[in-house]
Structure 1
């Protein structure tokens, strides 16, 4: 069991059974924003923290949509930037829940830019995978329904999410074996 699946409060024994799962497309959310000149870093391109924030916001919305209630960010599994973005670009992040655990949801986010120079096509500039945990009004983890892929692309994303989950578990176990003694 990973830390995101471990309840930190009361056990979930009184939880009602969840209905059947939902298709991956049900959780799809999209969020866009314009990159302004004040959003530039010292090299003139857009600040990466804007894309991290956008990915977290749209990922949260997808997790909430899938789980029918509040969710919190548990981890950012990875964030990869492929190309810079610039002032004047309109960046759009699209998120889907790609896999679920008992209380956790892994959300994939793809970020694209529509360039201000007049080109109409979208260019993928980044992607991320985040883990959210569904919580109740008291902040205790609550169960989530499974997610079901329907297309070949969704099946590939679902399988990749399972590989990342196993990688997180293996990494956690390996790090526990080499843990340093507590600082005094």
Structure 2
């Protein structure tokens, strides 16, 4: 049984970076790939700080780009541990952009990175448990647990050897897809 626990408040990390023209895509907005790279960096820093170990990205859930980021804006990313498993942690990340002349702040996206703590041989190692202290922290922990549960159910349903697409044809009529099964 794990006897090592840390408070969510002790896991928080914030980084800010000014967005430069070199970060822009062909439409003049900050490239989503650049933002994902920054998010991966803060997820690594947050998970490594929390676990005291080298961490790797296992998966990324729910990256919805809500608002574009402009060249010259200050991007701030806030991360904290939302959930802990045995060797894994879910890092919640909130991305905001601020127009430094007007002060206007936009929520650009929120995302969840699953990180795994590794030893020097690349094997997963146990991470501390999480102490949740308020309704928001409890909700974030449970939402992460539910996302993990749903991911396992989806994998079990669709990746099994006995998956039968014909059982889903009727459901597909509600989507923008045409089914042309070869018999």
Pairwise CA distance, 1:122: 2.7
| Aligned alpha-carbon RMSD (Å) | 1.7
What is the TM-score of this pair, normalised by structure 1?
Answer: 0.83
| Aligned residue among 77, 91, 94 for 2:78 | 94
Displaced runs of 4+ in structure 1, greater than 4 A? Answer: none
Q: RCO (CA 8 Å, sep 6+): is it higher in 1 or 2?
A: 1
What is the TM-score of this pair, normalised by structure 2?
Answer: 0.83
Contact 1:106 1:129 in 2 (8 A): yes
C-alpha separation between the residues in 1 aligned to 2:95 and 2:164? Answer: 36
Pairwise CA distance, 1:93: 0.8
Q: Which residue of 1 aligns with 2:139?
A: 156
Residue 41 of structure 1 pairs with residue 25 of structure 2: yes
C-alpha separation between the residues in 2 aligned to 1:149 and 1:160? Answer: 13
Q: Which runs of 5+ in 2 are unaligned?
A: 166-183
Q: Which residue of 2 aligns with 1:26?
A: 10
- Count the aligned residue pairs: 163
Q: Which residue of 1 aligns with 2:157?
A: 174
C-alpha separation between the residues in 1 aligned to 2:121 and 2:60? Answer: 23
Q: Which residue of 2 aligns with 1:5?
A: none
Over 3 Å counting, the alpha-carbon distance change for 1:57 and 1:179 in structure 2 is farther
Q: Which runs of 5+ in 1 are unaligned?
A: 1-16
